Structure 1
Amino acid sequence: MTSASPTTTIPEPTGRYRRTGQRGVNAEMLSWLFMRGSGLLLVILVFGHLFVNLWLGEGVKRIDFAFVAGKWSSPFWQVWDLLMLWLGLLHGGNGVRTIINDYAHGPRLRLVLKGLLYLAVIITVVLGTLVIFTFDPCPSGGDPSLLPSICR
């Protein structure tokens, strides 16, 4: 008795490739697009930050507490630094998330590492945002000997 062997067909090399997976927008594609957009915006923000802080005026010699206090008295620079903080942390966190997905073997380890990553990003974003918007170089009721010279 002979059995018929199954035949395998190989598609024509000039034939059109057909996708078998999900089509359209998904989380990983949005993540990929965010990385490109945030990376471009971060380059502009960081080089603008470096240009204003280091290139203009006296350079690094003029950066001190009074410089930061004067800069953060302007809502423009508060928003600029806030965008750098948020985009930098979200961009970096998304990159580390991708590394965890690639190299952490096992769902439990992956879950723990991502949980720690998300917690660290959230805490840092919240604390950084609070520092930017609640920064007061001359708090009322502060000890005058501890206040900077710009407050006298």
Structure 2
Amino acid sequence: MTADTLAAPRSPQSRDPHIRKKGPNLEKWGWLYMRISGVVLVVLIFGHLFSNLMVGDGIHALDWGFVAGKLANPFWQVWDILMLWLALIHGANGMRTIVNDYVTGETVRKTLVWAIFVAAGLLIVLGTLVVFAFDPCNGVTTDSAFWEACQAL
């Protein structure tokens, strides 16, 4: 068989080390994740935009108090965490796909993929900490314009 022809669909696989024979098909699961997370992200993002920009006073209501109130609500905490996690993992997987498609050097490719996942992991940890550990009154002093609002909490 020459390089210009394809093997029959049911013929045994070659001994090429780049062809996976056993174990989970991670590329398939990554492909499915991209499709499912993309649909869920569209719902989450448009829900986020609608609740922030269209409900109530719209964009004029966006201030420190609005964000503090929203991050104090467990529903919006879960909403924001889902959006954060899905978006970062979706983006990191997309970048991994681009690196796998265009970077030919094995060492450079592995280093870039590693760096992408480290950056995504770090952003996920930091974003999760912000959402769950957010204290709107941290560092507010008696001189601050927010002092009275924090006293009411």
TM-score interval (norm. to shorter) = 0.7 to 0.9
How many residues get paired?
A: 139
The amino acid that maps onto 1:150 is A
What residue is the counterpart of 1:91 in the other structure? 90
CA drift at 1:50 = 0.6
- Normalising by structure 2, what TM-score? 0.81
Match for residue 145 of structure 1 among 143, 146, 150: 143
Please tell me whether Structure 1 or Structure 2 has the larger radius of gyration of its CA atoms.
1
Q: Distance in 2 between matches of 1:115 and 1:24?
A: 21
Unaligned 5+ runs, structure 1: 1-5, 11-15
Structure 1 residue ranges (4+ consecutive) displaced by more than 3 angstroms after TM superposition: 16-25
Q: Distance in 1 between matches of 2:32 and 2:12?
A: 22
Q: Distance in 2 between matches of 1:19 and 1:60?
A: 62
What residue is the counterpart of 1:59 in the other structure? 58
Unaligned 5+ runs, structure 2: 14-20
Deviation larger for 89-98 or 57-66: 57-66
Percent identity, aligned pairs only, is 49
Change (3 A) 1:112 1:151: same
RMSD: 2.5
Change (3 A) 1:93 1:60: same
What residue is the counterpart of 2:10 in the other structure? 18
The amino acid that maps onto 2:123 is T
What residue is the counterpart of 2:39 in the other structure? 40
What residue is the counterpart of 1:125 in the other structure? 124
